[in-house]
Amino acid sequence: MPSASRTTIGRRALALLALTAATGCLPFPTTPSFGGLTGVTVNADGRLTLVMAWCARPPDGVVVYRKDDGTLVDQARLTAPPLPGALAYLDLEKLPPGWSLAEGDLRFRRKLKYKAAGYDAKRNARMYDVVFDAGSRKKVRPGQVIITEHKEAEKDGHDVLLSTAEFTARVRYYC
């Protein structure tokens, strides 16, 4: 039979653990912090291209989800090469050298919406994502970037068209 002091210590430890869990103060990774901004554009060849601008460290990968019957489903996960500077482009139709497809595919189907974002797994940071579809290429031209902004009543947000310079300047609000 356990002693009274062991029972009291066990109860206190259990209460402390419950309080810690309830307040969200566990030392485990949580929702990623924002580390930049992701947008979509077209390159000079007219191919759909992600644009990423970051705050501190460059992303080491990109994740793409598709919206299928209202649910986000993994579409693709890509691994990035070392990225210099503070801005990078990822051609979604013809992978640039150094990028690799870790899982999934980059076949975008008509009438489906996609959500993509760069991320830095080492810092648990994710860039603010962009929502797009296969027809987004018709809404933008080289030198322009579509980002997604959200209002409370909007499920998928709305497109905002920016110049590349405006996109780069806006990243500081997503850090």
Encode pLDDT of 144-170 as tens digits.
999 999 887 777 789 999 999 999 999
Range of the domain at 8: 1-27
* Mean confidence (pLDDT) of the chain: 84
**Which runs of consecutive H residues, i.e. helices, occur in the chain?**
4-23, 164-170
Residues 53 and 103 occupy one common structural domain:
yes
How many domains does one find in the chain? 2
Residues 13 and 95 occupy one common structural domain:
no
Calculate mean pLDDT across residues 43-66. Answer: 95
Residues 5 and 40 occupy one common structural domain:
no
Residues in contact with 137: Cβ distance below 8 Å, sequence separation at least 6, in sequence order: 42, 46, 47, 48
Residues 92 and 166 occupy one common structural domain:
yes
Residues 53 and 119 occupy one common structural domain:
yes
Residues 15 and 68 occupy one common structural domain:
no
pLDDT digits (tens, 9 = 90+) for 60-115: 999 999 998 889 999 999 999 999 999 999 999 999 999 999 999 999 998 899 99
Q: Which pLDDT score is estimated for 121?
A: 87
In the predicted model, is pLDDT for residue 7 greater than 70? Answer: no
Phi, psi of 122 (to 5 degrees): -70, -30
Residues 23 and 41 occupy one common structural domain:
no
Residues 110 and 143 occupy one common structural domain:
yes
Residues 57 and 6 occupy one common structural domain:
no
Residues 81 and 148 occupy one common structural domain:
yes
